[in-house]
Amino acid sequence: MRQTIAVLAIATTAVAVASVATGAPQSQRAALKAAVAAPTRTPANTARDRYRHPLETLSFFGVQPNHTVVELYPGGGWYTEILAPYLSAKGQLWVAAPTNGLKGVQTLIAKDATTYGKVKVADGLAAVPAGSADVVLTFRNVHNWRFGGQDAAQQVFNSAFAMLKPGGTLGVVEHRLPEARDAAAEEKSGYMKTSSVIAFAKKAGFEVVGQSEVNANPKDTADYPDGVWTLPPVLRKGDVDRAKYVAIGESDRMTIRFRKPGK
């Protein structure tokens, strides 16, 4: 697949964000569009496409129908509902997390074996065979690893590196904390600095390929007392200022493509 991906230049103390244009073969894009439009998707999930941009995000990450893809910490299966039908004919989807992070996908599999029966479930990241994946993806999870009792983020990035074939892709989407903010906010707000995420990835051995602003939201100020959960879809404050937060929409998010060096 040919893509035009802007190279990300990184200075010692700042990250230069490049606009990225991507393209995909027509047949691949058609298959991805069909997966996004799959009737098996949950209506509440499809309603969030305008915030999560799955077609553009997966195109940017270069996910192809014949790839072996690992989705880390899939939660309720929002992206699993798209990836499973997209990869079902020629590829393979793994979902990997500790047991308590797999319940949502296990519910999907139990409910619809026709759509999700081929999905391989890895109870723990070490259960994914080393060097087996073309792509590893994670969506809005890094903050949880950062403050989940202990800082497990580096360990997860190291595991993702081990799963990938040389030349494989790690795709990360995460709530974005402005670089000028105090890094201590990462421990409680649900937002992460782009530089922090890149640091974890580079320490694991990854190269930065590029960034996309497809999941950016300039209305998000990322400074709410109740953190990112103040915004949709959680709306933690309930009816208090609800219209205000609904108007802001879902969080501002970084979208970064990394590469494991090699062929």
Mean pLDDT of 65-92: 97
| Topology classification of domain 26-221+253-259 | Rossmann fold (3.40.50)
pLDDT of residue 21 exceeding 60: no
Give the pLDDT confidence score for residue 28 in this predicted structure: 85
Give the pLDDT confidence score for residue 148 in this predicted structure: 62
Q: What is the mean pLDDT of the chain?
A: 90
Q: Are 206 and 259 in contact (CB under 8 A)?
A: yes
Task: Summarize pLDDT for 80-99 with one digit per residue, the tens.
Answer: 999 999 999 999 999 999 98
Task: Summarize pLDDT for 127-159 with one digit per residue, the tens.
Answer: 999 999 999 999 999 999 988 655 799 999 999
> Which is more confident, 139 or 8?
139
d(Cα 198, Cα 27) in Å, to the nearest integer?
Answer: 32
Give the pLDDT confidence score for residue 151 in this predicted structure: 76
Give the pLDDT confidence score for residue 76 in this predicted structure: 95
What stretches of the chain show up as alpha helix (H) in DSSP?
26-36, 43-46, 49-52, 54-60, 80-87, 103-111, 113-116, 142-147, 153-163, 194-204, 242-248
pLDDT of residue 1 exceeding 70: no
The domains of the chain are located at 26-221+253-259
Q: pLDDT above 90 covers what percent of the chain?
A: 85
Mean pLDDT of 45-57: 98
Q: Residues 195, 236, 74, 135: is their CA dihedral positive or negative?
A: negative
210 CB-near residues (< 8 Å, 6+ apart) = 5, 6, 7, 8, 18, 20, 256, 257
Q: Are 40 and 111 in contact (CB under 8 A)?
A: no
Mean pLDDT of 47-69: 97
Instruction: Give 4's pLDDT tier (boundaries 50, 70, 90).
Output: very low
Mean pLDDT of 175-190: 95
pLDDT of residue 13 exceeding 70: no
Mean pLDDT of 221-229: 97
